[in-house]
Structure 1
Amino acid sequence: MVEELSGPHVGYLGLLRRIASHWRLSLIVCVGVAAPVAVWALLFLPKSYEAVAAIFIEDPRRGSVSTLRDWMPAGDASYQQAVLRSRSLAAAVVDNLPQDSMNELIRHAMHRDYVLAGQNLIRRLLGHEPVVFSPQQRAVRELLTARVRFESLPSGEVEIRAIAYHPQVAKDLANTYIEVLQSRSRSHIRDEARATRQFIENLLAQTKANLQEAEESLAKHQRGGTLKLPERSSVEMAQLAQLESNLADIQASEEIAKRRLAGLKGGKDSAGMPGRAARQALSERLAALEAKLATLEEKYASEHPLVKSTQAEINELKTALAAPPSISPGGRSAIRLTLGPADQAAVAKQVADAEVELASLQNREDVLKQSIARLSSRLSALGAEEWETSKVLRRVETHRSLYATLSEKLGTARVQEQGEDRGLRVIDRATLPLGPNNAPAKKIILLGILLGFGLGVGVAGVIEYFNQPIETEDDVFDATGLPVLGWLPTIAGHQPTTGVEREPLNLVNGSIPDTLPVEGCRSIRTSLESLNGSRKLQSIMLASAGPKEGKSTIVLNLAWVFWELGRRLILIDADLRRPSLHRGLRCPPQPGLADMLTGNVPWPRAGQGIREGFVFLPAGSTGTAKPGVLLTVAKLRGALELLTSHADLVLFDSAPVLAVADNLILASLVDGVILVVRAGETQRHDLVRAKDLLEKAGASLLGVVLNQVSPRETRRYYGRYGDYYGSRDGNIEPWWQRCRFWANKRTGVLR
């Protein structure tokens, strides 16, 4: 049972409190880590500069009239944002950068691919070839991963933030992005407008031919005199003509939607050529690379790495253009932009919107066909002549209406093809940064502070996890299974911890009967008296695991509270190595127990009367005494029988159990042993070891007394009873008095 109770147990709330008590250590560790990091970030981190440009990407379909909106490219703003973050645009930017900017991207990289470095190391160890990127590829990776970032705002504005080690390079990066994006965006919109115009022209020519045919048929009816306006169901025939006109308009819009969806998926366009836009982009890139190669050949030899890498890229592009464009099983062209996950999601949304639009047009077409069929069935009762006349008139009106609509939209498409790009607007071009960018240094300093704080808390946590002090009654019971006989709070006052005036002693003020320390001592006395009813307790020894835990203070104060009941009491200082009770009682240290055990001084002369019925037996002449020789079973048993015959209660102070084994024999002879534990100081494992030693020696353990209980625990247990116990005397002090005492203690001014 005892082994189970003394097993490992962690009170995590208490652990957190103890970690917080190491705030000085945590602060020192935090400063020790953060200070060098901050010095390095401020003095040795290469200065970087940030240039900012702003563009506005507007969906051209937003806010347009329905006639214009139906025939404009869908989701153009999403397309431009996808292109903005694409690898192909970054490659085009690298191709158009000045040579100085290109050199910085290659020679002074901000991005370090540690994963690739580790993989290459493994490949070298295995005898494989490492992965090596060309200067062009390295520049593109550097641009995408470390140099440029985009911040999109809900209003459609996009900030292009470029970072470089030189102000001019940062400016060139941001402005080159704008120039290349403008070129690509304008080319894309014009290509879309050109394709739309060509498709509308084809539809318009076909509609014009159909209109001419219908008008010729109408003229024949008029020349033959067979044209006669129907006299019945004129309203239904007018509705039928309107429905057929709407159906023709919807069918034309459906053809446009199909073409747009095929373009988004990378399939064939209206001319039947697969991947035309992608192939045109490759052609433009091939022309740019050939111009770049010509410039490089003027400066470098043919074996130069830049010349060789550029020539290799040109060969790859020529191979791709020479091969027939392949369509993937999902309908996407094999030649397409390299997009990230977010950009792919934007393109997928455009495809979904186009599919929804196409499905809506098909549903409207089905509804119109059903309405036309119903009206046609109603008009089936007309005569053949009337029906033919109405049919010719409807065809003419339908083709005229469609021809007018297509003519209007053809004019709109021509205006869009010749006009400027309205989807992309430059708000601000990048200018030279006025000063270095402090964001990287601030980020590194913040990371250093967080690392130092975490390390400081971690060190304190590790220390306290393995250093588990006893703090509460529950901790005592969990560790030993022994009952807590009582506890004493921290008694206000300053006592030296070293020298001849070291602790003890803090005497409770017995003249004030309602203080917490006094009531704590009386509570311990009451617990012992309740045990005295079940077994005889005439001799009691107070022990502790280590020094400075307060057993001398406890035994001295217990002697006072037992004496006030009228008990005949003998208080004995059995710590022959470091006696201390004589200082608390202001008595000479000898003669005493050592003289009595050696036989040099008899009992009556060795004791010193303190009060009537209260005799104190100090340690005696300990200079030449050997505790291991004096504290034998025979001598102690004889002395104990003699002393108990002259008193109702004999109290022994003793040496620390784990420090010396002097008093283990005495512990086996007395009626009971009380373990004194200093709250927040005595370690759990020390208390368990002391208990085991005493039990192996044959001691009868009565329980545990908690000494120096913290003010926090005192307030937790007895704060609500402060008035009852007389907080006016300072045992449960207000917070401002505690703060003043702490400040006085720090400054050395004690009042």
Structure 2
Amino acid sequence: WTARAQLLLDPRQPRYADIEAVVAGLPADEATIATQIRLLQSRSFHARVMEDLGLFDDPEFNPLARLPEGQVPLEPRRGVSRLLSFLPRSWLVAWGLEAEPRPMLESEAARFGREAALAEFASRLEIRGDSSYVITLGFTAGDAEKAARIVNRIAEMFVDDQLKAKLLVTSRVGLWLEERLAALKREVEEAEAAVARYRAEHNLVAPSGAGPTLSDQELAELNKELIVARAQLAEKRAKLDLVRRLQQTGGRLDSVPEVAASPLIANLRNQETELLRQEAELSTLYGEKHPRMQQLRREKANLQAKIRAEIERIVKTLENEVRGMAARVAALERQLSGVKARTVVNREAEVRLRELERQAETSRKLYEELLARYKETREQQEIVEPDVRIVAKATPPAAPSSPGPRLFAAAGFGIFFVLGSFLALLLERMDRGLRSAREVEALLGLPTLARVPMLRLRRGTPPFRQLLDKPLSAYAESIRAIYTGLKLGGADRPPRVVLVASSLPEEGKTTIAVSLALFAARSNRRVLLVDLDLRRPSVHRALGWRISTGLVEYVAGERRLEEVVQHDPETGLHFLPIKGQTSNPTDLLESPRLRELMDWARANFDLVVLDSAPLASVTDGRLAALLADRVLFVVRWGETEEAAARDSVQMLREIGIEPAGVVFSMVDFKKHAQYRYGDIGRYYHKSQKYYVE
């Protein structure tokens, strides 16, 4: 059942004052609609809806909730198994396409159930947008009421998320404005305090740009006073110079304003005039020597002396005034110079003051703007609206949206049958790995001597420890089968030198060589294990030995034979490792000294096991095969491809060597028995009672 609801991305955004500057509405373009659809498809949104509706515990969505009570969930399918999820897991395990699934831990099960429920929820949600502003939501569920309830809740929670997001942004903006306003208020107070402090420190009383300062006013007044004083000094000096010239030339000083204005002079002149008048009147009556005439002349002389004395006093007064005026001019000039110096300092201080005032004014304006914005934001938080609204709620559908399960089952069975058959044929064609004795005999014409099982050991434990610790194990029995097969294969003349070869690296060649040599040594035979893999020697590492010399040094004549042959007292095995590198392995394998070594080994040991390089990788393996009596060819079960094995055996046959047989390494006997390849390996589970693991 599929229920549908519709959302409208409203392009008509009401604008209230400057609220859009804080929380702008979404533009109704294609990119915005695609973004809204992506938000509806997000896993976090789905998880919140499912939590709200309790769908994580719903068996329709969580596969673990459908399991019977008490059943432990198995680990989820991966890789090919996930692609073939329509097939039972037991089939895939039997075919080797999947390992045996292990039970999931409780924490893994909870996480898997949650992820599976989310994936199922997302697969049932349909979101469709077209060229309009409408987004259509559809949800499919097994019940009509449930489908309508889920899709309506998706729409409601999405609209709520839009509104909450806007309110959250508005709230965060308000908090940011509060913090910013507090910081700006402190900045304004500090800036204004700095202006006042600077003005006081530099005696700048008048505000900057508001008029002249005290220094300017003082300078102007001093300039005026100095101009007046200089004018007065010049005037006084001019009068004094005139008086002095008149005194020097004997001229009359009555023309001098100060003399003419003197009341004493005027009185004395009047008295003198009166005496002259009397003298003129008496001169007609008396003679020159008359006492009265002499008395008049004495009085006249006395008056003239007084006039001269008064004039001298006036001249002295002028001189004193000139000196006083000159002193005053000098004092004004000094005072003016001091004021000028202070004015220069004040000018420099005013530059800094104006800078401080500008900073204070800028902070004040920014504070006022943010304060106005903060008030608008606080007032308009209640009118924030979401950009999306529900225009059509879902109702329970009247008819199912998909055909019945029988039709699906029939179609699915037919499709899966065809796909399964095709896949089986494809896997069979792609699988080139050798697994059974019949395949080996048909492809290579060689018998299978043994199947060495895969060991699951602790890290760092060498496989040959199975021979020492568990001599009756399946692994020991497989090595015993190799040893017995070699003996029976040459009953008249058992081989003294056996080479263990393989097609490619990592096929278990060295492990089988070491195990075969160790088994023979534990059977009271004198055994020498020789490492002839000159490129990647590994015998000494497999035995856990650290060496300082080896085969390369012996062949080069740098060491004696007894110095390079090592003896392991625990196993009784002698082995000849490789320590150094050689630039030409071919020359070393063809050297007479190596052949002498092999002759010595044949004469002194019951069995010599050679570990060689892979045949398909380098030519060293073919040269080493010429030193041996028999060659064991190792095939890694399920991994060694038919072409590689066929080509490697053909290389040996081209140089006249027929391998003694094939040894399968790292065999998974459980899978081997499940595949039922038709060889003796399928009876492994019936033979387990004979092994002591």
- Report the TM-score when normalising by structure 2: 0.40
- Report the TM-score when normalising by structure 1: 0.37
Whichever of the two has the greater Rg, that structure is 2
Bigger RCO (CA 8 Å, 6+ sep): 1
